[in-house]
């Protein structure tokens, strides 16, 4: 179970390989990469700055990953989240979950993304042709996280 | 006996207050995160954002809290808008 | 939209990168890799042979991917499925779905895997200490595919 | 006017029949996948697997079919156990 919060880019394929390396009990590897889009809510995005809360960010991500580990029978998990200035096409976040079976790996991976969106202290500021603006939290993200509470 | 806390502000709130952090001796009667928020808003001007910003979040010692979360000497209290990572 | 059925191994990271290359409209890349486990249903597995139905396999996978494209707002999809003899730790299948938003990318990726398990003409034969045996289809796979029909 | 079909067998069924494929002139009255299956099972011995194997699947011209799927001259008909890919 690994959580990394970093400025640097990451290589999803290399991270997936490293998580599976040397094990023969992995039947399923579900992963997610979030990227910066050149347009958001109809506005052009030239750059995006991700602010975070050092210390709490790592603790919040570790808590989310542990919750996933209690809910599903999975083997290991990796979360990498970047901060700092990013450009369209840049990777923001990686979540990889490995397990014996696909259903639990998929569920845990999506759960981690949904909770991360509403629980991890990151904030996005976009540079658009009209100037800079802070991205508003989406109610759809709250809804996505809430469905796991049933 | 005074209680001192460290207060952090993030993102849009940090910019509105033009301040990232401060140390504060809690005035008598300010013993929860909610009371601290009201106290800070009472400074007026930009500080009114602490009550006017919709869905402002608070964390105490790096864990999400609420208005009732109690404060103790040496605590780290953070105020910030809803998060938007991922 | 690409479907490949091949004997050769594949590189998930390189395939994900290629699918996203040159586009700035991708906000979400959901992927799944299925691998051979060294034990299945309590039996040791020394090797696995995947038989398929050339021609129909490609058509069935393309049909599943097209169904996903009609159901969800996604940008592109890649499915690679291997056949032939595989060893524990070897990759079997890769599904990558890219889209603007994570919810639809996740759903389409899981849908493709669930349908592939019940609709694509592949059969697995395991070499175990007790000899060779054909893997039985699981009712849990039928259940997983059925939940998308609601 | 005779109708000829190509028949394919896969996986455990192929092994039981010890045959991967054959060409067959359909006997009179055999006009659906289900009728063909019953006709083949009528050969007896290992061929009874065509009716005894649980959940045997049929594809006509590389599309999943059922007992009622009609057959035409030149069709490719495949019989196989439930699939287990992925």
pLDDT at D2 over 90: no
What are the pLDDT digits (tens) for A1-21?
999 999 999 999 999 999 999
Helix (H) or strand (E) segment spanning residue C64: helix C56-71
Q: Do A53 and B85 touch (CB under 8 A)?
A: no
The pLDDT score that the predictor gives to residue D54 is 78
Q: Do D84 and C53 touch (CB under 8 A)?
A: no
pLDDT at C106 over 90: yes
> In chain B, what's the furthest Cα-to-Cα distance?
43
A126 shares contact with chain C (CB less than 8 Å)? no
What are the pLDDT digits (tens) for A88-119?
999 999 999 999 999 999 999 999 999 999 99
Q: Do D85 and C59 touch (CB under 8 A)?
A: no
Stretch A56-80: mean pLDDT, rounded? Answer: 98
Report the C-alpha gap between A94 and A76 in whole angstroms. Answer: 14
The pLDDT score that the predictor gives to residue B1 is 66
Residues in chain B: 86
Residue of B nearest to A115 (CA): B86
Which residues on chain D are in Cβ contact (under 8 Å) with C60? 62, 64
The pLDDT score that the predictor gives to residue B38 is 96
pLDDT at D52 over 90: no
pLDDT at C89 over 90: yes
The pLDDT score that the predictor gives to residue D67 is 95
Spatial contact of C95 and C112, defined as CB atoms under 8 Å apart: yes
The pLDDT score that the predictor gives to residue A149 is 85
The pLDDT score that the predictor gives to residue B53 is 82
Q: What residues have CB less than 8 Å from C131, skipping those under 6 apart?
A: none
Interface list for A 100-119 with B (CB within 8 A): 113, 116-119
Given pLDDT bands bounded at 50, 70 and 90, which one contains residue C48? very high
**Cα angle: B12, vertex B14, B16; to 5 degrees:** 70
A82 shares contact with chain B (CB less than 8 Å)? no
C150 shares contact with chain A (CB less than 8 Å)? no
Average pLDDT, chain A: 96
Closest partner residue to C117 among D64, D80, D85, by Cβ?
D85
Stretch D8-13: mean pLDDT, rounded? Answer: 97
What are the pLDDT digits (tens) for A35-52?
999 998 888 999 999 999
Share of chain C above pLDDT 70, in %: 99
The pLDDT score that the predictor gives to residue A150 is 66
The single-letter DSSP state of residue A29 is E
Share of chain D above pLDDT 90, in %: 93
Average pLDDT, chain B: 95
Q: Which tops the pLDDT comparison, D55 or C17?
A: C17
- Output the CATH code of domain D3-80: 3.10.20.30
Lowest-pLDDT choice from A131-140, B13-22, B34-43, C50-59: A131-140
Q: What residues have CB less than 8 Å from A106, skipping those under 6 apart?
A: A28, A30, A97, C32, C106, C109, C110, C113
Q: What residues have CB less than 8 Å from D56, skipping those under 6 apart?
A: D13, D37, D50, D79, D80, D81
pLDDT at D1 over 70: no
Strand pairing class (B76-80; B4-9): parallel
The pLDDT score that the predictor gives to residue A43 is 86
pLDDT at C150 over 90: no
The pLDDT score that the predictor gives to residue C32 is 98
Report the C-alpha gap between A1 and A42 in whole angstroms. Answer: 37
Which residues on chain C are in Cβ contact (under 8 Å) with A32? 28-31, 102, 105-106
The pLDDT score that the predictor gives to residue B54 is 78
Q: Which domains does chain A have, with CATH numbers?
A: 2-144 (3.90.1170.40)
Closest partner residue to A24 among C31, C89, C106, by Cβ?
C89
The pLDDT score that the predictor gives to residue D49 is 95
Report the C-alpha gap between D23 and D18 in whole angstroms. Answer: 15
């Amino acid at each position: 179970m690994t959580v990394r919060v970093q400025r640097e880019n990451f290589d999803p394929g290399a991270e997936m390989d490293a998580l599976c390396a040397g094990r023969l009990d992995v039947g399923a590897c579900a992963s997610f990469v979030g990227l910066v889009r050149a347009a958001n809510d109809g506005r052009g995005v030239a750059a995006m700055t991700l602010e975070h809360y050092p210390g709490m960010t790592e603790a919040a991500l570790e808590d989310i990953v542990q919750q996933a580990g209690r809910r599903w029978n999975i083997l290991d998990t990796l979360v990498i989240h970047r901060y700092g200035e990013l450009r369209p096409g840049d990777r923001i976040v990686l979540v990889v979950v490995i397990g014996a079976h696909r259903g639990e790996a998929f569920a845990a991976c999506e759960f981690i993304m949904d909770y991360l969106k509403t629980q991890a202290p990151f904030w996005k500021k976009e540079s658009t042709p009209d100037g800079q603006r802070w991205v508003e939290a989406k109610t759809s993200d709250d809804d996505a996280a809430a469905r796991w509470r049933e | 006996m005074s209680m001192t806390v460290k207060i952090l502000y993030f993102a849009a709130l940090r910019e509105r207050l033009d301040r990232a952090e401060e140390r504060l001796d809690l005035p008598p009667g300010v013993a929860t995160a909610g009371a601290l928020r009201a106290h800070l808003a009472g400074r007026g001007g930009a500080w009114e954002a602490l009550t006017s910003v919709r869905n402002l979040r608070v964390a105490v010692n790096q864990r999400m809290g609420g208005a009732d979360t109690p404060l103790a000497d040496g605590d780290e209290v953070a105020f910030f808008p809803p998060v938007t990572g991922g």
